[in-house]
Structure 1
Amino acid sequence: MSSSFQKPDHDELAGTEQPFVAHLMELRDRLLRAILAIGICFGILVVYPGPGPLYDLLAAPLVSHLPAGTKLIATNVIAPFFVPLKITLLAGFLLALPVVLYQAWAFVAPGLYSHEKRLVLPLVVSSTLLFFAGVAFCYFFVFGQVFKFIQNFAPKSITAAPDIEAYLGFVMNMFIAFGAAFEVPVIVVVLARIGVVSVDKLREWRGYFIVVAFIVAAIITPPDIVSQLALAIPMCLLYELGLLAASYFIRSTKAPEDAE
């Protein structure tokens, strides 16, 4: 039985091999373009809306659940300057993420066959959209539930005055956690397409994945049931989406001789 990864009689990649130095130069160029895209987005955001308003926007879910008149504090002298800049850089990276992923795709594309290239661009687009969806879900839903739980749980004798650097670290960890968790369909598709594991086997492992999802959610989210369910349940649903997508992509990216 022929494999979907068997090379065709006419090798499309014949004569396209490049020296190691050429690969390094291309990698350098791709990295520079990605960094340039991030720098341009960062510069635009510095001008408008500016680091200050961006940080105010990021802090809004927390501030809305603090007692009236309470503000975040800065325990480091230079924190009021550097923390908003770090937020702006993070926003610039998110804004330039499609370009960064495209540069990664363009670097590996010459080493792929034409039927394999049909898989890469949809994965780049879906990876970007899923990461954005995870970040947006965390910001608009999870943060509100987490901060509401914390304020209701805290004793009345405690006045919360969070530090801006600690808040930045918390936000970045949560964004990365939810953005990465929403990449589950992409991971499932890639594992199934490159032959690491079959779709049928992934279906059999569904129960194990549910257990793992709840364990991961319990580890990386604050100790409240709402945020843990908010991460674990979407991961389980996205796993099912990944199984459906894997079946489709395996059929649509078969080698020509296998399709026949």
Structure 2
Amino acid sequence: MSTRAPEDQEMPLVSHLTELRTRLLRCVIAILLIFAALFYFAQDIYALVAAPLRAYLPAGATMIATGVASPFLTPFKLTLVVSLFLGMPIVLQQIWGFIAPGLYKQEKRIAVPLLVSSILLFYAGMAFAYFVVFPIMFGFFASVTPEGVAMMTDIGQYLDFVLTLFFAFGVAFEIPIATFLLIWVGIVDVGTLRKSRPYVIVGCFIVGMFLTPPDVFSQVLLAVPMWMLFEVGVFFGAMVKRQTAEAEEVEEHNGETADKPPAPRP
């Protein structure tokens, strides 16, 4: 029985770790380069993110900074997070380059659209929060401010609040990807998801209740898109499952034809 040398056994692992380190380093460098390019505009970026709230502040009211270093650290933190979001396509490209050699051809054909769709949907969720939800939410908060109370929000607390909502809406818009993967892997079939539609709708409204102000209009603005995104995931999951089943039937038929002995000559 032949044995392999220790060097031969360790080389594949060392090569993978080296490649992983290289790709992680590329991701860090890309994010730092984006951050370096955006740092000069840190104050402008924060002003842009704070615009939905500032539009509903009372006349003469401004945002405040209660921390000594908050005027510097808060825009710095926001710029770093924005750099991470903008660098996500590069990060996903490096992840894909690392895992792609171990995937089958069919898996590669599905994985690429999933990666691209996931980042686009995350961006779409953030844009939906900024352009649709924030104006309604901050308008509601401004309208219920008690008389005699000045609405003056701390810049650090505001940043933490909007980053949480950005992340929540970004993840919520990943519902089609999660639904598709559940169907594709075989954890749940399409029929079960369709039968569970009433529970999904109720769950979407419950999530909308926790992520939005306590008014029906804001809850609907989040719950309805989540429901529609669920339906999109079910549709594409069913379509891919059907195509995969048809391809397997064709391969099985071709295999049976190849194994069938030729007919005898007359």
Could you say which TM-score interval applies, normalised by the shorter chain? 0.7 to 0.9
Q: What's the counterpart of residue 59 of structure 1?
A: 50
Normalising by structure 1, what TM-score? 0.87
| Superposition RMSD in Å | 1.9
Normalising by structure 2, what TM-score? 0.85
Q: What's the counterpart of residue 116 of structure 1?
A: 107
One-letter identity of the residue aligned with 1:103: Q
One-letter identity of the residue aligned with 1:119: I
- In structure 2, list runs of 5 or more residues that go unmatched: 1-10, 252-266
Paired residues, what number?
A: 241
Q: What's the counterpart of residue 174 of structure 1?
A: 165
* Distance of aligned partners of 1:22 and 1:200 in 2 relative to their CA distance in 1, 3 Å threshold: farther
**Alpha-carbon distance in structure 2 between the residues aligned to 1:227 and 1:29:** 45
SS at match of 2:66: coil
**Alpha-carbon distance in structure 2 between the residues aligned to 1:254 and 1:22:** 37
More helix by share: 2
**Alpha-carbon distance in structure 1 between the residues aligned to 2:29 and 2:244:** 33
Please say if 1:41 is aligned against 2:54: no
**Alpha-carbon distance in structure 1 between the residues aligned to 2:23 and 2:162:** 29
Larger radius of gyration: 2
Share of identical aligned residues, percent?
47
**Alpha-carbon distance in structure 2 between the residues aligned to 1:33 and 1:254:** 39
Where in structure 2 are the equivalents of 1:1-260 lying within 5 Å? 19-47=12-40, 50-252=41-243, 257-260=248-251
**Alpha-carbon distance in structure 1 between the residues aligned to 2:120 and 2:67:** 36
8 Å contact kept, 1:134–1:175: yes
8 Å contact kept, 1:115–1:256: no
Q: Displacement of 1:84 after TM fit?
A: 0.4
> Which of the pair has the greater relative contact order for Cα pairs under 8 Å at 6+ separation?
1
- In structure 1, list runs of 5 or more residues that go unmatched: 1-17
8 Å contact kept, 2:208–2:219: yes
* Distance of aligned partners of 1:130 and 1:160 in 2 relative to their CA distance in 1, 3 Å threshold: same
| Runs (4+) off by over 6 Å | none
**Alpha-carbon distance in structure 1 between the residues aligned to 2:245 and 2:98:** 22
* Distance of aligned partners of 1:259 and 1:184 in 2 relative to their CA distance in 1, 3 Å threshold: farther
Q: Displacement of 1:166 after TM fit?
A: 0.4
**Alpha-carbon distance in structure 2 between the residues aligned to 1:193 and 1:115:** 12
